[in-house]
A and B are shown apart, each in its own frame.
Chain A
Amino acid sequence: MTSPTLSPASSTAPASSTVPATPSRRRRRGRDEEGRQVNWWLTALLAVCALTVLVPLYFTVVTALKTPDQLGGSGFELPTSVHLQNFADAWNLTNFPRALMNTALITVGAVLLTLATNAMVAYAIARNMHRKLFKGIYFYLVSAIFVPFPIIMLPVVKQTSLLGLDNQGGLILLYTVFGLSTNTLFFTAFIRSIPVELEEAALLDGASTWTVFTKIVFPLLSPMLATVGILTCVWAWNDFLLPLVVLSDPAAQTLPLANYVFQGQFNTNYTAAFASYLMAMAPLLLVYLFAQRWVISGVMRGSIK
């Protein structure tokens, strides 16, 4: 698969443009971050486009703050009074604390287990690509990217309930294993760009392969660990289909699943429903608000390597 990995241009990228502008950089009026003349028309156009992203979020917030009789009209009007009861209702109706704990547990577990294992697998593959067996394993794992989930959906449900994996722990394992395909692709490309000489020197000094991996290679992987961590986090937090089919106990419900069940039961209680949507989206939005630059540069790095 020729991913952007093979792009010859990626290695010649000017360092200044891939690194977000530092806040300390001097900015003059009418100049952009690189000191060029600003195109204000384009800035305005993009700002209008950005509104399409913000409008549904604005709508969610104002609706969550309204009383049911303030609904109606186009719905974009600001609430006349702030009505926080919606959040209390949603909190109880969706059993929000339980769903939040489940989602957090599954997400944190999936990210940690993925980072701890997937990099190791990719390291063994990357350093042994000249061996037929490892090359075979590489293609075996990576080709699964093209296997659509519906084909494993029905059998995997039977299998997880048979193996006692129809719970939060099982989901953590499934995310880690299913993520292996893409993550092997990411990590292997990254590891192969690390010169092998450092590891050879350590081996000559008597270090074991395991020590070389944990003490030398793993720390060097931190940029790619961030990328994979971000992508896994977003995936596990927001996924709906896998929890829907795998989890059997209602007490294990994740946030999207709780909202799905809630939608089916109380489909006329719009204000409480919107409060519930907002509470489901808020945790990741808050994290993103503070880690925005880091998240975006992490995703960009994943696409270049």
Chain B
Amino acid sequence: MTTSSTTPARAPRATTSRAAARRRPGTTRISRTFYWMVLPAVLLFFVLHTIPVLNGVFFSMTNYAGYGEWDFTWFTNYVNLFKDDQVLNAYAFTFGFALVSTVLVNVIALAIAIGLNSRIKFRTGLRGIFFIPNILSILVIGYVFNYLFSNSLPEIASRLGIDALSTSILANPDLAWVGIVILAVWQAAAFNIIIYLAGLQTIPGELYEAASLDGASTWRKFTSITFPLIGPFFTINMVLSLKNFLQVFDHIMALTAGGPGTSTQSVSLLIYRGGFQGGEYAYQTANAVIFLVVIVLISVFQLRVLQRREASF
């Protein structure tokens, strides 16, 4: 492998590159440097990332509590997970939250990015402001939102005579998730705006000029030019937003800590709590393995569907 410079992947290339490869002196020595460049990193990655994953899969088939003795229980944990209301509720909450947030954040970010990319004044300044939430700690700004939701908002609402909002929404099991969505969208929109803006700037202005000459409406320009041409950016934002929102943790720690009751307990929070504080190490690793499978399946599915949509234009 070290010496073969004409592997099948290279063969179809033009003869010049093969000639260049033949000219190159001491291919074996060069390759060795390349191996040393990746070897330590791959080893560390294996030790600190892959072994924990395998370790998790292994212990998910035991009754290990995080300390002491353990026995193999094989798939008992997995079977029990599907009968556990707390687990099912956590998945229901996490999916509902992630779907709503992903849709909202992408709609809002795309709208703001289009606004920033059109004929406006103070573009650089506004762009700079919209990116600020991305550089703040979710936990810390979450505490600020916590105070706003539980003290300021009820005060303003009761002054305006809106009874429904005169108590803290975070203390209401039916509304607490709304507060988490607001924080999540507020924080994540920043990054998505910049990605969409980068996408919008790849569209040549001549396309819009030509469309204007043909008498296309603003909406028609959006559906026929803008949206198809930022397809790859839309795909990446949808996939990454959903994946990140499914792992929601900091937002909840700052706003509700999973409450009231367990109404806003996400899967990550459940794994953290059960695994570290509840003596459910093995049980929650099984939960995490399921979570891994779910996230990989969803991401692959999303990529397939969205890329087919991209290709169809």
Contacts and interface: CB of A to CB of B under 8 A. Distances in A.
Interface in B1-54: 1, 7, 9-10, 20, 23-25, 29-31, 33-35, 37-38, 41-42, 44-45, 48-49, 51-53
Given A39-B118, A153-B272, A159-B55, A57 B132 contact: yes
Interface size class of A (residues with CB under 8 A): 35 or more
Given A33-B123, A120-B37, A150 B288 contact: yes
Nearest to A292: B128
A203 B24 contact: yes
A281 interface: yes
Nearest to B124: A20
Nearest to A6: B232
A269 interface: no
Contacts of B232: 2-7
Interface stretch (B70-78, B168-176, B197-205): B197-205
A42 B118 CA distance: 9
A256 B137 contact: yes
A304 B202 CA distance: 9
Contact of A46 (B126, B155, B250): B126
Interface in B101-145: 112, 115-116, 118-124, 126-141, 143-145
B296 A21 contact: no
A63 interface: yes
B97 to A, nearest CB: 15
A255 interface: yes
Interface in A1-32: 1-7, 9-10, 12-14, 17-18, 20-21, 32
Contacts of A285: 132, 135-136
Contacts of B236: 3-4, 303
A277 B141 CA distance: 7
Interface SS of B by simple majority: helix
Contacts of A150: 247, 267-268, 271-272, 288, 291
A38 interface: yes
B123 A296 contact: no
A73 B148 CA distance: 11
Interface residues of B, number: 108
Contact of A238 (B31, B53, B56, B137): B137
Given A3-B236, A38-B120, A155 B140 contact: no
A238 B120 contact: no
A134 B281 CA distance: 36
Nearest to A47: B126
Given A2-B235, A43-B122, A75-B155, A245 B272 contact: yes
Interface of B: 1, 7, 9-10, 20, 23-25, 29-31, 33-35, 37-38, 41-42, 44-45, 48-49, 51-53, 55-56, 59, 66, 112, 115-116, 118-124, 126-141, 143-145, 147-148, 151-152, 155-156, 159, 186, 190-191, 194-195, 197-199, 201-205, 229, 232-233, 235-236, 243, 246-247, 249-250, 253, 267-268, 271-272, 275-276, 281, 284-285, 288-289, 291-292, 295-296, 299, 303, 307, 310
13 contacts: A1-B303, A7-B202, A20-B124, A43-B122, A53-B129, A53-B132, A127-B34, A146-B299, A153-B272, A240-B249, A259-B137, A284-B135, A303-B198
Interface of A: 1-7, 9-10, 12-14, 17-18, 20-21, 32-33, 36-40, 42-43, 45-47, 49-50, 52-54, 56-57, 59-60, 63, 73-76, 117-118, 120-121, 123-125, 127-134, 137, 140-141, 144, 146-159, 173-174, 177-178, 180, 200, 203-204, 208-210, 213, 234, 237-238, 240-241, 245, 255-256, 259-260, 263, 270, 273-274, 277, 280-281, 284-285, 288, 292-293, 295-296, 299-301, 303-304
